[in-house]
């Protein structure tokens, strides 16, 4: 985490006005809507538009897409007007740059991590993505990307340039987010299943608890770094 920089908390996979309001009222910096049909958090662009109208101006709006082409991304941006595109598939650095140009929006590229070797891909994306999300690799037989509620070994991130800002995802929840922030020193955290009572069903109490725990842990790390 860069000392003195704002720490970002993103709640992803929101699908109802009620839980969106909880996230916003609790201080989420970013809210994410999922457009991958195989995900239990999938919502239509029409539904996302209704939710985005609530969030706009209160938090940054992120549209999560998986292996879309430039036309699809451009059409979604025109309809939804998100602040960010989150690329959660197998997009190459070249495709990432192309989507960024076509959509005219900053992009966050998610990279799956299971071993130290997986971090070798980070450098290839640093110049084509505006933000990197280090997420847990999905199980081999998974129907959709993401951490599936399973964290990876955060100590692997000690190999990264300490001045490199990244967001951390994958298996985070209210109980472990403080330890994740202490060990990994990310610039922000991204949670989805960790604040749910069932796949795709956000739990308001867990959202509140997660944001409070993350904010407290980030403040402690920043105070320690500046001491």
Give the residue numbers marked as catalytic: 12, 135
Determine contact, residues 65/86, Cβ cutoff 8 Å. Answer: yes
The span from the first CA to the last CA of the chain, in angstroms, equals: 14
List CB contacts of 119: < 8 A, sequence separation 6 or more: 113, 134, 156, 157, 159, 160
User: Which among 151, 196, 142 is positioned nearest to 169, based on CA atoms?
Assistant: 151
CA distance 26 to 38: 29
Cα separation, 144 vs 36, whole angstroms: 8
User: Which residues on adjacent β-strands are paired with residue 63?
Assistant: 33, 85
Give one DSSP letter per residue of 115-152, joined into a string. Answer: SGGGGGGHHHHTTT-SEEEEEEPPPTT-SS-S-TT---
**Measured distance CA(15)–CA(192) in Å, rounded:** 11
Task: Give, in degrees to the nearest 5, the angle at Cα 107 between 73 and 122.
Answer: 125
């Amino acid at each position: 985490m860069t000392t003195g920089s704002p720490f970002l908390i993103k709640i992803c996979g929101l699908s109802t006005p009620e839980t969106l309001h909880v996230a916003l009222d609790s201080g989420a910096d970013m809210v994410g809507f999922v457009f991958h049909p195989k995900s239990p958090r999938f919502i239509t662009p029409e539904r996302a538009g209704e939710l985005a109208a609530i969030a706009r101006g209160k938090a940054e709006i992120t549209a999560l897409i998986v292996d879309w082409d430039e036309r699809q991304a451009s059409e979604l941006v025109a309809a939804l007007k998100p602040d960010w595109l989150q690329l959660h598939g197998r997009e190459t650095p070249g495709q990432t740059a192309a989507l960024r140009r076509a959509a005219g929006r900053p992009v966050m590229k998610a990279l799956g991590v299971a071993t130290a070797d997986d971090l070798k891909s980070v450098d290839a994306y640093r110049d084509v993505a505006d933000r990197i999300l280090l997420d847990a690799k999905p199980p081999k037989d998974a129907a959709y990307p993401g951490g599936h509620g399973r964290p990876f070994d955060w100590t692997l991130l000690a190999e990264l340039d300490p001045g490199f800002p990244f967001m951390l995802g994958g298996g985070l929840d209210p109980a472990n987010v403080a330890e994740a922030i202490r060990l990994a020193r990310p610039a922000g955290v991204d949670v989805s299943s960790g604040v749910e009572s069932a796949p795709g069903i956000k739990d308001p109490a867990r959202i509140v608890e997660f944001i409070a725990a993350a904010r407290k842990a980030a403040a402690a790390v920043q105070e320690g770094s500046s001491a």
